[in-house]
Copies of this chain bind each other. A is one copy, B any other.
């Protein structure tokens, strides 16, 4: 039986590049770019006025001048009006191009207007501290040709805005991963059916589908009974059509646990079966040469949940962003906990943000790996290492988070 660390390494060793597709920027939130985006112009593209006020030549201020006749008015988006007289000023709005001949902007708050013989005059109350004040200089932030969004960048709102600025109406992105979500088990009925006393409704498949969606992948649900022939016939099309299969149930020691055998028969190479962890130990993982990866997760809902977030989500993310090594979030155990078996323990926790910038993890031990409802109170799992038995309050442990905190 292998360790969680080794299992994670083997899972991530099967990460493969995803084909690209070209889509509209407005449909690309959360997607990962596969063609780099460069600055088509400087950022800003011109000396950009940063405050509403007047544009003038700083030399006049240095010479002690305080009153500036207004030569012209310049709105944002209008062609620039040159400052003809270096002792005058152009009234100017945020976002406008700085008039040729001017180098500094004094904001409305720091001037008073008056009129003399029909001429509008601005009197500077607070002289600007330096030339260039309130001017956002051309190329101050980025230069034309600079790499803005390298391959592997996830398109959040900031990246979408940058892509819009350089005119990327369409973007080349990795296509979303397609995952077949397969539940197995004769005891399961559809969610709109009334179960017999010894039956239950399917829930894992819906859980996995929702978790895939939150990760940016697309899950399609299938079900097979505990029947070897049904599996032998039903699985090959899924192995051919999907990037990955996430199965739940049928991988333990039971008489109807046919999956490992059938998967091997179908040419799916087993990379491991069983991991030193609780819950989630009977996890089977394999890969078909040139084909899909198979996560065959144990069927108890808490086990399915733990294994999805420990193994499946990182695999999905790395297929999209192979270069990214996201930092491991940590949280402080809020109460001392003991776990004797020499296995990695995924302890369900409720998270609390402390006023001191810590993330506190309050243990919420489940009533066993079948206790689906216990997850409602939890935000994630602390991954308590196998080599330790006693976990003192205040120590920090890796956090596998499934619920957002912000």
Closest to A358 in B: B357
- Chain B residues with CB below 8 A from A107, complex form: 253
- Complex formed: what's the CA distance from A197 to B191 in Å? 60
A115 within 8 A of B: no
* Chain A positions 348 through 359: 1 when the CB is less than 8 Å from some CB of chain B, otherwise 0: 000011111111
Check A148–B373 contact: CB distance below 8 A.
Answer: yes
Check B201–A25 contact: CB distance below 8 A.
Answer: no
Check B187–A76 contact: CB distance below 8 A.
Answer: yes
Check B353–A161 contact: CB distance below 8 A.
Answer: no
- Chain B residues with CB below 8 A from A79, complex form: 196, 198
- Chain B residues with CB below 8 A from A157, complex form: 207-208, 210-211, 214, 305, 308, 402
| Seed contacts A93-B256, A108-B253, A165-B372; 15 additional CB < 8 Å A-B pairs | A50-B300, A75-B226, A77-B185, A97-B198, A141-B373, A141-B374, A158-B403, A162-B203, A162-B372, A167-B194, A326-B406, A332-B356, A357-B358, A358-B358, A380-B406
Check A158–B376 contact: CB distance below 8 A.
Answer: yes
Check A252–B94 contact: CB distance below 8 A.
Answer: yes
> What's the least CB distance linking A145 to chain B, in Å?
14
* Chain A positions 86 through 98: 1 when the CB is less than 8 Å from some CB of chain B, otherwise 0: 0000010111110
Q: When the two chains form the complex, which single residue of B195, B257, B308, B352 contacts A45, counting CB atoms closer than 8 Å?
A: B195
- Chain B residues with CB below 8 A from A272, complex form: none
A391 within 8 A of B: no
Q: Of residues 145 to 199 in A, which have CB atoms within 8 Å of B's CB atoms?
A: 148-149, 155-169, 185-188, 191-199
25 residue pairs of the A-B complex, CB under 8 angstroms, read A26-B221, A43-B372, A43-B373, A45-B195, A50-B368, A76-B186, A77-B185, A77-B198, A95-B185, A95-B200, A96-B198, A141-B367, A155-B210, A156-B214, A157-B211, A157-B214, A158-B372, A161-B204, A161-B375, A162-B376, A164-B191, A164-B207, A165-B200, A327-B353, A401-B406
- Complex formed: what's the CA distance from A48 to B300 in Å? 11
Q: Which residues of A contact B (CB under 8 A)?
A: 25-26, 29-30, 41, 43-46, 48, 50, 52, 73, 75-80, 91, 93-97, 107-109, 136, 140-142, 148-149, 155-169, 185-188, 191-204, 206-211, 213-214, 221, 226, 249, 252-257, 299-301, 305, 308, 326-332, 352-359, 367-376, 378, 380, 396, 399, 401-406
